[in-house]
Amino acid sequence: MDSNDMRNAKDIKLIESALEGFLPDGGCLEKNLVDAMRYSLMAGGKRIRPRLALEFSRINGGADGEIMPAACALEMIHTYSLIHDDLPCMDDDDMRRGRPSNHKQFGEATALLAGDALLTLAFKTIFSGMNAQNAVRRAKCAEILAEYSGARGMIGGQIIDLESEGRKPELERLEIMDKKKTGCLIKAGCLMGCIGAGVCDGKKLDAAESYGECIGLAFQIVDDILDVTSTTDELGKPVGSDETQKKATYVSLLGTDKCRELVSEMTERALSCLDVFDGDREPLRELALSLAMRSK
Ligand code: GRG
């Protein structure tokens, strides 16, 4: 393990221990619900979004303890979106993060409720976990999370996706959809990290958002490439599903070579956004590069 891998592993451990602590007590009549929430929340995953929040807080001199509730809230929203996305009324996927998807394990109704409960727990976590003395930062983080995960953000992307079925594939529509569906939560992590550390400078906030937009797009393109080049075992979720569902992807519209070029271009752009920050840029450089080269 090199020093970057060690830093990532340490951060993932920190995030996972905080996530466990924010889960409600399951020793009651709601035990099955809490078990279903824990099942998906603690099932691994790359924890990219909370890591971005932590790193953008650190580069701006913020303390990990202050941003951690917001970082965890973001992961809760991400996990709820995965649970709901796997439901039969959405993508109907049987596997997620290397094991049966939530509804396969707990049934559809419980999975739906576990997603809902993670969504509401996210906002409770921000309000009860972040320091009340920084009430403005706390409120701003909650506002960003609501905005970027809501109708004009991630959920907006999902409805564009659902309504794309049977339509002629178009690159412009795909880009708008992915910027919302995938990009918005990634951008939210970057922005919440800055806000949690007290950044008010518009230039820095714009740069954090652009960094998020570029790595978000690169992340989605890599996801599309992996869907045709990887295996179910490696990804922990079904591969080839885009083609089976006849979904337009960057690979189907542009081909793999052009996609790889775009990933490099977006990653370079993301790295240049870091110039405005005075703190140590290396962890965010490394994060962007590792996402571009990821194999799962
Ligand atoms: C159903 C409310 C609702 C929203 C659905 C985000 C989303 C919208 C659906 C999730 C499915 C999907 C393919 C989203 C695209 C973004 C993406 C590649 C998610 C997977 O994120 P990773 O790779 O997952 O970070 P891990 O498991 O590592 O956390």
Mean pLDDT of the chain: 94
Q: What's the mean pLDDT in 26-40? A: 90
Which CATH number describes the domain made up of 3-292?
1.10.600.10
Examine the pLDDT at 43 and tell me if it is beyond 80: yes
Q: Return the pLDDT at 57.
A: 98
- In the structure, what pLDDT confidence band is assigned to residue 183 with cuts at 50, 70 and 90? very high
Q: In this predicted model, what pLDDT tens digit does every residue of 49-107 receive, in sequence order?
A: 999 999 999 999 999 999 999 999 999 999 999 999 999 999 999 999 889 999 999 99
Task: Return the pLDDT at 296.
Answer: 80
Is 69's C-beta closer than 6 angstroms to any atom of ligand 1? no
Q: Atom 19, ligand 1: which residue's CA is nearest?
A: 182
Q: In testing the pocket of ligand 1, which one of 149, 223, 241 has its CB within 8 Å of the most ligand atoms?
A: 223
pLDDT of 238 > 80? The answer is no
User: Could you give the C-alpha distances from 251 to 41, 177, 241, 274, in angstroms and in order?
Assistant: 30, 15, 13, 28
pTM: 0.95
CA distance 99 to 140: 35
Mean pLDDT of 256-268: 97
Closest CA to 220 of 178, 258, 280, 160: 178
136: pLDDT confidence band, cut at 50, 70 and 90?
A: very high
CB-side neighbour CA atoms (13 Å) of 66? 23
pLDDT band at 169; cut points 50, 70, 90: confident
- Predicted confidence band of residue 29 (pLDDT cuts 50, 70, 90): confident
CB of 181 within 6 A of ligand 1: the answer is yes
If DSSP states are collapsed to H, E and C, what string results for 172-203? HHHHHHHHHHHHHHHHHHHHHHHHHCCCCCHH
Most ligand 1 atoms within 8 A of CB, residue of 76, 85, 239 to mutate: 85
